[in-house]
Structure 1
Amino acid sequence: MNKTIEELAKRWLKRKPDGLSQVESQVLQSTLERTTISKDTNKAVAFHQTFGDRLADTIARIGGSWSFILAFIAFLILWTSGNVWLLSRDAFDPYPFIFLNLILSMIAALQAPVIMMAQNRQAERDRIDAAHDYEVNLK
């Protein structure tokens, strides 16, 4: 049962070998050599990540968690109640909470681009996974 790439291309893909893409040729070669084509795509993505990429992913993961949301709600309640009731005479940020507004604006200005960077990297991971799935399914 000694087959060639040409025989496999004609039989499985109904095409000549010169019309195959690089991925299809690699899959057929892997089939002939009886080697696996699967690989860990997470390692490939992690290898190319910079410190900024990892930091952005961590910030996006933390900022999108329920624990962060609940802690942030608790912070807002403490800030407003502390300045309205507890420190009504000596409040460091009296109503309408201008300093709190500044802090929230700065957080939003930093968090939005970081989340967008994390989403772009996730889209890249998805493209790599889809290409790998295509190779595995082709085999």
Structure 2
Amino acid sequence: MAVDDFEIPRSSKRKLPSFAMSPETFGRGAEAFARFMGTPAFLVGMTVFCAVWLLWNTLLPESWQFDPRSLNFTLLTLILSLQASYAAPLILLAENRSTDRDRVEFEHDRQRAERNLADTEYLAREVAALRIAMREVATRDFIRSELKDLLKELEDERQDGNQADGVDSRSSEQRRGGSHSG
């Protein structure tokens, strides 16, 4: 094997172990941290921490003070600045993840609304088709009225037929009777 073989990757010369964390795990941690920073427990804890720090470095003898008031509490300022410098990006990361989740949820809601609208329109068309079909279908009242009309026509025809038969029968009787008398 040649020394200048560029097709074979070199082995890593890094001595430190690599720390690989999935973006999902890191994001969940950032959200948990941001959620914790918004709790009353965190605010009370930070207030107590700062109060103890200030009282310790103000009221105790100078030999016990580790961040004297004469230096304007430089160490406390640095610690709070460090905390803020980590908190801001973590909060933004958590907010971005929340925005992404909201965007996905909004998209699902939009799709669900489209499906509901399509279903509603389909049902409205079906109801309209049923109404149109029901107008074409003979209803019970319509059939009754038609049957009554037909029955009346039949009765009228029968009466007309009976009257005609009565006139015919009378005239035939008269003819018979007239032949006897004449």
TM-score surpassing 0.5?
yes
Partner residue of 1:91? 65
Cα-Cα RMSD: 1.6
1:65 to 2, 22, 39: 39
Distance 2:102 2:36 in 1: 21
Distance 1:58 1:87 in 2: 39
Distance 1:101 1:94 in 2: 12
Please state how far the C-alpha of 1:119 moved relative to its aligned partner: 0.4
1:124 matches 2:100: yes
Distance 2:50 2:112 in 1: 50
Partner residue of 2:114? 138
- Stretches of structure 1 lacking an aligned partner (at least 5 in a row): 1-47
TM-score normalised by L of structure 1: 0.62
Distance 2:106 2:61 in 1: 57
1:108 matches 2:84: yes
Query: Number of residues paired by the alignment?
Result: 92
Which has the greater radius of gyration?
A: 2
- Stretches of structure 2 lacking an aligned partner (at least 5 in a row): 1-21, 116-182
Tell me the amino acid that sits aligned with residue 84 of structure 1: T
Per-residue CA deviations over 1:48-90 (Å, capped at 9, x if unaligned) read 9621111111111111111101110010000001110124443
Identical pairs, percent: 34
TM-score normalised by L of structure 2: 0.48
Match of 1:61, SS state, is: helix
Please state how far the C-alpha of 1:120 moved relative to its aligned partner: 0.5
The verdict on how the C-alpha distance between 1:91 and 1:128 changes in structure 2, with shifts beyond 3 A counting, is same
Tell me the amino acid that sits aligned with residue 73 of structure 2: F
1:77 matches 2:51: yes
